[in-house]
Amino acid sequence: MDIVFKAIINETKQKNDFAVATVVKTKGSTPQKTGSKLLIKKDGSSVGTLGGGCVEGDIWFAATEILKSKGNSEYKEYFLNEDIAARDGLVCGGTMYFLIEPFYQDNLFNSFATNVVEAYNGKNSVGLATLIDKQNSTPEQKIYFDSAGNPSSSFNNKDIDKVVQNTILDLIPYGKSKMIDIDENISIYIETYASHPTLILIGGGHISKSLAPLAHSIGFKSIIIDDREDFANPERFPEAEYTIVSDYKNAFKLNEFEVNKNSMIVIATRGHNFDDIALESAINTNAGYIGLVGSERKAIMIFEQLLSRGIDIAKLKTINTPIGLDIKAATPEEIAVSIIAELIQYRLGGKGGSLKIKDQKIDSIYNKLQKKAKIPKNIDGDQSVLHPIRGSSR
């Protein structure tokens, strides 16, 4: 996303007009999620993506027409039906809602773009609320927010202002986006930007060694803490932003890095005695997520020790342990995958189950096609034979 905002800064410096198309809402299965952006330049080139295909092409064309005519913003809705999906080879059945906004030397928005890039680089989080009139193509009213949720102006409606500010405060620690529908015609799109999520690995053993590159591949920054220099160094963890040698009791008192709601702590030391100390240290931070590697039996033993030392039971109930989704992981590499999957679920939502199509839907497809005579009636779906793929043991 930061490449789009860097392009905005560059286009403004060159005094070029441009348009930004944003996915402000989605329903069902779509090729891109809320918050995705495409910058369309006056020469027709673009930066970013809305998922590709004919929908992106239509949005691009609409944006170029707006720029040519010096027009105002437009709100567009696309239902990804079978015809649209077939044109692009997509297998989607959702709906995407877009806001196309032209910018004609908007220095205020350029300042916001600069703040977004700085937020991605670890500085203060920022937010923006845009009022959308779905029926009228008019310049959108925008309110900018700092990291504390303080607004630059008002929508002149106390109830709306309160809802928007509360939503900003909920989203801004995580850099998430959301659209609020005020009525049938008016909505407010809220977008916030924060530093990349940070994964703090306490313990530099085999599991952390497998976790760090996975975290890096999905855009997480990582910090490694171990009380042994051989297990916390740049050679062992080349992906890490910091490798810190420290005892676990004082690991978060060094002030070498910030721990906030966008931070996730995973404890995987070399023994439950060290896990005990590390967890007590981590539980008093502002981390949004804390997970402990190990069995339920080990976790209960550690909880008993912490409770006996006066740790609040409410805090212990927030600890994710045993950590990871249940995929029967056994090796450090498999355990790392299950942990990363849980961290993604924590950030983005979801139930963590299989996405496999239910048998009833396949039966429905089969029956529909059979009625249309596209499947010979003498073939019974229950008697179908699956031929093994070459190299498969099935």
* CA distances to 22, 85, 130, 368 from 81, in Å: 20, 6, 28, 18
Number of helical H runs and strand E runs in the chain: 11, 14
Half-sphere exposure of 337 (CA within 13 A, CB side): 8
Q: What are residue 186's phi and psi, to 5 degrees?
A: -115, 130
Q: Which of 249, 242, 245, 243 is nearest to 228 (CA)?
A: 245
Q: Would you say 21 and 52 are in contact if contact means Cβ atoms under 8 Å apart? A: no
Q: What is the pLDDT of residues 45-82, one digit of tens each?
A: 999 998 877 788 899 999 999 999 999 999 999 887 65
What is the structure's pLDDT at 331?
Answer: 96
pLDDT at 376 over 80: no
Arithmetic mean of pLDDT, 334-356: 91
Going by pLDDT thresholds of 50, 70 and 90, the confidence category of residue 108 is confident
Q: Which of 141, 69, 153, 70 is nearest to 99 (CA)?
A: 141
Q: Would you say 143 and 128 are in contact if contact means Cβ atoms under 8 Å apart? A: yes
Longest dimension (CA), the chain: 74
What is the structure's pLDDT at 379?
Answer: 52
pLDDT at 390 over 50: no
What is the structure's pLDDT at 228?
Answer: 96
Q: What is the pLDDT of residues 159-193, one digit of tens each?
A: 999 999 999 999 998 899 999 999 988 999 999 99
Least confident of 63-67, 104-108, 191-195, 218-222: 104-108
Least confident of 87-101, 129-143, 296-310: 87-101
Going from the N-terminus, what domains does the chain have, and what CATH number goes with each? 2-193 (no CATH), 198-348 (3.40.50.720)
Buried-state track 110-125, b at ≥16 Cβ within 10 A, e below 16? bebbbbbbbbbeeeeb
Higher pLDDT, 337 or 196: 337
Mutual orientation of helices 272-282 and 296-308 as an angle, nearest 10°? 60
Alpha-carbon distance of 347 to 343, in angstroms, equals 6
What is the structure's pLDDT at 238?
Answer: 96
Q: What is the mean pLDDT of the chain?
A: 88
Q: What pTM, to 2 d.p., does this model score? A: 0.75
